[in-house]
Amino acid sequence: MIPGLIAITILFSASSIEPVSIPIERRMKTFDRLVSAPVSLHAVVLGESLSGFLYSIGIAFVPLVAGLLIFGTTPLSIVPLVSGIFLTSFCFATMGTLFAAYPTESPGDIMSMLNMVRLPLIFISGVFIPLESIPFIGQVAGFFSPLTYGNDLIRAAYLGDSHFNPLIDIAMLCTFILIFQLIANRLYNKFNE
């Protein structure tokens, strides 16, 4: 239970920072300051994602420590745990930044779009229901969810057993980060009127 809890905590915390802070920066017009500075858009997108990343790593400690102290659940191996938490956090922080590209000054607009994606992700990513036991179509959809690989990696850390090879999980998470970053870049470019 703890691995899934950590994965979901990361999903919701990492992707919630930029959808709030960027619209507010738009409203205060400080966002113009960032996008008119002599730094590339890549750097802006990366930097924005960093705050969601750091925040979510902090938050992820709550279920981790609670698991240790209350339920006595200890991770078996540290490398998949750290890479799982870090990569999943960064991946969803970038996803938050991507959604925040939508040119609005109201955080609510982005949050509601984001929830249409985040909630279904939980059900197709093997968090509560193991990937093996969901319908085939769900399994296929699960392949396209970064949460699948993040959750799988953290599970590997706790149970020593995973659906995919942990290296595949890591590779897939990195791929998603890259794709999100590229799409975010394009969107910020496109919406910069």
Query: Closest distance between another protein and the C-beta of residue 101, in Å?
Result: 15
Q: Which CB sits closer to another protein, 30 or 106?
A: 30
Q: Which CB sits closer to another protein, 36 or 133?
A: 36
Q: Which tokens hold the place of 118?
A: 């985040």
Contact between residue 99 and residue 48 where contact means Cβ atoms under 8 Å apart: no
Q: Which CB sits closer to another protein, 101 or 172?
A: 101
Query: Closest distance between another protein and the C-beta of residue 31, in Å?
Result: 8
Residues in touch with another protein (CB under 8 A): 28-30, 32-40, 189, 192-193
Give the list of residues 6+ apart from residue 127 with CB closer than 8 angstroms, or none.
Answer: 4, 7, 8, 147, 151
Query: Closest distance between another protein and the C-beta of residue 155, in Å?
Result: 40
* C-alpha span between 50 and 38 (Å, rounded): 19
Contact between residue 64 and residue 84 where contact means Cβ atoms under 8 Å apart: no
Q: Which CB sits closer to another protein, 27 or 159?
A: 27
